[in-house]
Amino acid sequence: MELVTPHIPPQPAAPPSRLNNARVLKVELGARSYPIRIGKGLAANEAAFPEAQGRALRVITDSNVAPVYLAPLLAALHIGDDQVFVLPAGETQKTWDSAGQVLDWLLASRLSRDGCLIALGGGVVGDLAGFCAAIYQRGIDFIQVPTTLLAQVDSSVGGKTGVNHARGKNLIGAFHQPLSVIADTSSLSTLPRRELLAGLAEVIKYGMLADSLLFEWLEANLDRILALESNALAEIIERCCAIKARIVGLDERETGSGPRALLNLGHTFGHAIETHTGYTQWLHGEAVAAGLCLAADLSARHGWITEAVAARCITLIQRAGLPTQPPPGMTAADFRDLMGLDKKVQNGKLRLILMRGLGDAIISSDFDASLLDSVLHDACSAAG
């Protein structure tokens, strides 16, 4: 059985620096290094955007975010609403057609190569705006201002940008690092409950794949997070971003068997669910949550983790109000067909991110296919 375990150095003992009540981390990528600033009210604070000073700016946002957070951002950046492109909200907008509309607008507005694009929104806006920044005039700068928990702990960090295709999620895209990430925790107070819970799936993922202490902290403090306690929210955003920043710094472009692939724990299953349901029924985090349960189950059936560890993972996901099974009507054959299109397929072989301990993920291309079939069959049968 081939198990590839990329080395992830331990978290540094020294805490991240804090500046003006903001928690500040850094993604170390040499000339492409950038800060992550975490705190309340940052999106309305000009001082949080030093990288934008003196630049021609354009803003991409969506119809849910714009009515609440656009005006304070524009005031902080000293630009008018004529420099804004507002997309309809939802995963269905993460398409090549939407990217074309954004690019047409950027060209019509005559943004030059030294301009900067601001992505104000969740993962869809961040991925789409980042992709357009990557290809507009062969690449311009952009800044991530994530407004959902999922985007703040995961998708806004690391430079993965792109759009979906009918044959699979994120199959068209580019690596393009932002100038900075501004995570304003104030935005979480207006986040729909379902979106908050979807973001928690990515938080739980980090504990499962790289930090058992974070997982234990989540078990003990989940109620504080669900109650939107500001210190608890800032804590999970900082800890998750620190893990991702460390991994991205080691493996920026997810090459070969590098550690960045570990961040996809649960995602191969989750992307299959999203594609199967047409990106309209399940949120990304909900699909990932079910995928994490499948990954934990498969890891336990291989004997790499105990059934007790798998049960802890599934129980925490259930406590967070997230799905633990695939959508009704989805079959094992549906999973196998869609998983075969995953970007982690190499030389015709599917690679899965699984677990060999709590906080210890692995990459396997030589898992037992019969065990995978049994996991999928049992889960789909239970879902109905």
Annotated binding site for Zn(2+): 202, 267, 284
- Bind-site residues: 123-127, 147-148, 160, 169, 202, 267, 284
- Bind-site residues for NAD(+): 123-127, 147-148, 160, 169
Task: Specify the pairing of strand 3-4 against strand 84-87.
Answer: unpaired
- How many C-beta atoms lie closer than 10 Å to residue 122's C-beta? 31
The Cβ-side half-sphere exposure at 71, using a 13 Å CA radius, reads 2
Cα separation of 4 and 259, whole Å?
10
Distance of CA 124 to the CA centre of its chain: 10
Cα separation of 212 and 228, whole Å?
23
Long-range pairs for 250-256 at CB < 8 Å and ≥24 separation? 250/6, 250/8, 250/9, 251/6, 252/29, 252/32, 252/158, 252/159, 252/175, 252/177, 253/175
Cα separation of 298 and 304, whole Å?
9
Cα separation of 383 and 293, whole Å?
13
